[in-house]
Structure 1
């Protein structure tokens, strides 16, 4: 009560200064708008500031108006936020203490706190950060302290599918001190709590200083274990800084997996110490290469932000440029159909290329690649094998593969090639396990001909593989996978392919990706509902989560942010919260979160005109 009275006195004092321009207002302050906002029925209503009514600026109103405040994604457990705020200066925000079972966990929390504090500082506009009035309000602000205490009970420092990521957050204010208390079972939950805390802090435009809600209680945990974004760096190269921004935005939205589709037929931008010719022949230029130091940096950059960096090394298809060198070195052809024309006969898009899976040297090279990937991405709890878009005609027109089948007594029918493909996949898993010192890592594969209902059980053990769904939500393969007990990750292209709508992905002119997926479609796409529709059950134990994919046909550094964000944040709430409501109930918070991303340096696409943001609920069709 004391805090509320003090805050109200300060605000009234400020309003008197603004309206009547009397001392002791700061002479540097200039009234910039006659408008303010009042919370009416959990909606911020714009009204004229006549100096009599107590109106807030827009950020303050959104922070204190509505059950979920400005938190994104919405918490899944108990949530209570007071409608009052207290003001403070950034330098008054300090880490009071960390209780953790190991020094490694403590060090991670310290790093996460510095990121949190930096994000809070980004709320302050250029030239802001100091109280702009004198007198009692100025004294109230400068004397207020905000302390953060973090307790982590578990020793986990790397994400896995068993990581809880749950947390509780409490905020209390007494007198001139606000205490924020975080309790989590693992570091990742504590990091998420700090992100939520940062979202309960806003910049007060009227006062010219930061503010935090005076009281709050949050109990939160994600619904889905796997919440990802795929970034393709083969079709177009992305700078390390661009990938850092992607990780920053993922952390702000509590997404936890960056699926890095590093290589493809187009290019091989990864420099491997043991196989330098791969990048030498496969990179677009010597400047467009990821070295081991870059990868390790991004893996750690993601970890302290709660994001695993998961490599995909696609095979046996999607293997082309970068594999040309082997024949001159006496290793035979490691890749077949490389850059072959007419491409329509040998691949889904140019350039073509698939691995020569009957050449023993192909497996020797894969073993080296897996060993180095395990080193630079260490440690891995998942590995993506790719496994999509195999073109049987490519193998069927390769003399040595056809001769091999004939020698083994097999024909050239489709099933013979699928058996060959299944044998390759088993060898690839064995090679990865050997490279990992005998410890098996769950493998992820895209849906493909090999995952069809009459074929999958002959080639893919459900205990060893997770299937990532790349088809439409109505595909009967989804039902087959779930009823057969396969764990799945949803990336159904009719909602979560963020590369669609910018022109044909296929040079043939036949486009399956013509429609843009707006944030509303992304938000409303529920894996549980899809499963229930197809199978009559939600299969919650088998659905690990989902992932939005961004194939980079029409994307590079200049457009990455706007293609991914804020639509990636819509995915984030669907996977963290799995709300029962549709996008309309989330729109106000979503638009505010987009503004938050922009403040943090993410060039997220605009969602609506500013007038709509300032006049909630008036822009529906």
Structure 2
């Protein structure tokens, strides 16, 4: 067990070194700590305080000016989810001193969101120096957002006092994520997801401290996204109404404030958006608008490796992506490629012969050329694991290998010196309705990876909500609460995680109820996948 933990807050902040005994205390009384995911370290008292009815945000002394309004907006959202629509009209007695202010101190003036940004924070409720204040300090605005999420879980509306209360004060919390990449994939090609539903998913991700929305936008079945460089790709949508304009996609990532500042919807919640085009397979829908991308009319995928136009289209898509998807990485797919159409199409077979390639070499050629195009637009790369399994030593060193087929892959990837994201389908695929939340909780990304240098190459993990059997009617209850179980695995230090997931059942049930209260259709823990309540009863017992 680790002897002590040192927070990575930047200069100008209070650097806190804390004994790990506080976490042991948390484990011993888990039923008394209803915070999800569990913080790195905390201690608490036995008193109660109220929030003032005019609870305010102060930023005196902070280097972050909040010119874009990210902090102000997050504070307003925090108050909304704490009140949960209730009217706060109770009276605070003269003997009670309410907390009037949350003082947020951020050391970095920069609000750029990228992979690896400092997400640490320190929360004191109330501040030892000023009992009228909550003190929240962080290295960046994104650490502060996490601190506000944690604070929101400490607060609750009391029906007896009709006030917002915080019990078990004083709270002292020091926190930071275990992994920098904590993802959720949604698939808008198998079923269209309304824009407002995508935003609701982003909101719920922020509650659980996930930080990457992997948007699997297009696939074999449909191409719902407008690409200005090649507008006929949009012909691959299911219908005229099941489409996203280029501006719609930008709105998922950003919005414009009343003051004229460009704010990013996902960025305002600390969520990066990883866009994916899956090539060369999973791309039949591309040919609805541009049939020359198909090997032939009767043999329609993978994309035609012999046609220069194929790579011009990929270049155009990634060029357009670079205008709105500002995350460091782009996902290029590369999985489940059946190359038989290349040899069955005479002109492509002749091209292969001319260039001295067999099918597998052409597959490698395609993936590596797509990688070069993405690199030219400033992206680093994510590819599904088949690319590594087939020609891993040829991949760019800027590749992150996305494991999905099973265990043992991450070990081989990091041993080869490449980075890895873990999404093994037997444990972290949300469309597998028979996979329980306990299995999601127990799935360990660093299994059998013991060298520290190799552990660092596992940048995190991702749960995947493939869209064959979900649409806007059931996506939320299929994602939650199982994704939250994985979220704690990715956020909380390994030594703080429960060895038996049953030890966290009550706390996860509480978080599931909290999601319901916040308007998220999270399913009961007692049901597999996206089940319904079996009978009347308390939310906390389902």
With the shorter chain as reference, the TM-score category is 0.7 to 0.9
Matches of 1:310 and 1:561, distance apart in 2: 20
Counterpart position of 1:355? 303
Counterpart position of 1:82? 45
Matches of 2:176 and 2:99, distance apart in 1: 29
1:190 counterpart (140, 144, 149): 144
Matches of 1:308 and 1:209, distance apart in 2: 35
Q: Is the 8 A contact 2:278 2:332 kept in 1?
A: yes
Deviates more, 1:573-582 or 1:237-246: 573-582
Task: Report matched runs for 1:276-287 at 5 Å.
Answer: 276-279=231-234, 281-287=235-241
Choose 1 or 2 for highest CA Rg: 1
Work out the number of aligned pairs and report it.
Answer: 495
Matches of 2:174 and 2:31, distance apart in 1: 14
Q: Is the 8 A contact 1:443 1:465 kept in 2?
A: yes
Q: Deviations over 1:317-356 (max 9, x none)?
A: 11111323335xxxxx212367x5xxxxx7xxxxx63211
1:451 counterpart (388, 391, 402): 388
Task: Note the residue ranges of structure 1 that are not aligned, 5 or more in a row.
Answer: 1-61, 328-332, 341-345, 347-351, 411-415, 502-515
Task: Report matched runs for 1:69-468 at 5 Å.
Answer: 69-76=33-40, 78-88=41-51, 91-97=53-59, 99-103=61-65, 107-122=69-84, 124-125=85-86, 128-131=87-90, 144-172=98-126, 178-213=132-167, 214-279=169-234, 281-299=235-253, 300-327=264-291, 333-336=292-295, 353-377=301-325, 379-410=326-357, 416-434=358-376, 436=377, 439=378, 441-448=379-386, 450-452=387-389, 455-457=391-393, 459-461=394-396, 463-468=397-402
1:487 counterpart (396, 401, 419): 419
Task: Note the residue ranges of structure 2 that are not aligned, 5 or more in a row.
Answer: 1-25, 254-263, 527-532
Q: Is the 8 A contact 1:226 1:546 kept in 2?
A: yes
Q: Specify whether residues 483 and 611 from structure 1 end up closer, same or farther in structure 2 by C-alpha distance, changes over 3 A only.
A: same
Matches of 1:555 and 1:240, distance apart in 2: 15
Matches of 1:420 and 1:296, distance apart in 2: 34
Counterpart position of 2:516? 598
**RMSD over aligned Cα atoms:** 2.7
Which secondary structure state, in structure 2, belongs to the residue aligned with residue 531 of structure 1? coil
Q: Specify whether residues 169 and 106 from structure 1 end up closer, same or farther in structure 2 by C-alpha distance, changes over 3 A only.
A: farther
Which secondary structure state, in structure 1, belongs to the residue aligned with residue 124 of structure 2? strand
Deviation at 1:138, TM superposition (A): 5.2
Q: Deviations over 1:4-28 (max 9, x none)?
A: xxxxxxxxxxxxxxxxxxxxxxxxx
Q: Specify whether residues 489 and 174 from structure 1 end up closer, same or farther in structure 2 by C-alpha distance, changes over 3 A only.
A: closer
Deviation at 1:208, TM superposition (A): 2.5
Deviates more, 1:555-564 or 1:397-406: 397-406
Which secondary structure state, in structure 2, belongs to the residue aligned with residue 406 of structure 1? helix
Q: Is the 8 A contact 2:510 2:540 kept in 1?
A: no
Counterpart position of 2:441? 523
Q: Is the 8 A contact 2:115 2:327 kept in 1?
A: no
Q: Is the 8 A contact 1:147 1:177 kept in 2?
A: no
Counterpart position of 1:330? none
Q: Is the 8 A contact 1:528 1:538 kept in 2?
A: no
Deviation at 1:537, TM superposition (A): 7.4
Q: Is the 8 A contact 1:98 1:106 kept in 2?
A: no
Q: Specify whether residues 360 and 227 from structure 1 end up closer, same or farther in structure 2 by C-alpha distance, changes over 3 A only.
A: same
Q: Deviations over 1:68-126 (max 9, x none)?
A: 621110011x311222222335x32211225443545663222221222222222x54x
Matches of 2:247 and 2:60, distance apart in 1: 30
Structure 1 length as normaliser, TM-score? 0.75
Structure 2 length as normaliser, TM-score? 0.85
Q: Specify whether residues 188 and 580 from structure 1 end up closer, same or farther in structure 2 by C-alpha distance, changes over 3 A only.
A: same
Matches of 1:487 and 1:211, distance apart in 2: 44
Which secondary structure state, in structure 2, belongs to the residue aligned with residue 154 of structure 1? coil
Deviation at 1:613, TM superposition (A): 6.3
Q: Specify whether residues 336 and 115 from structure 1 end up closer, same or farther in structure 2 by C-alpha distance, changes over 3 A only.
A: farther
Q: Deviations over 1:434-456 (max 9, x none)?
A: 3x2xx4x21000011x312x731
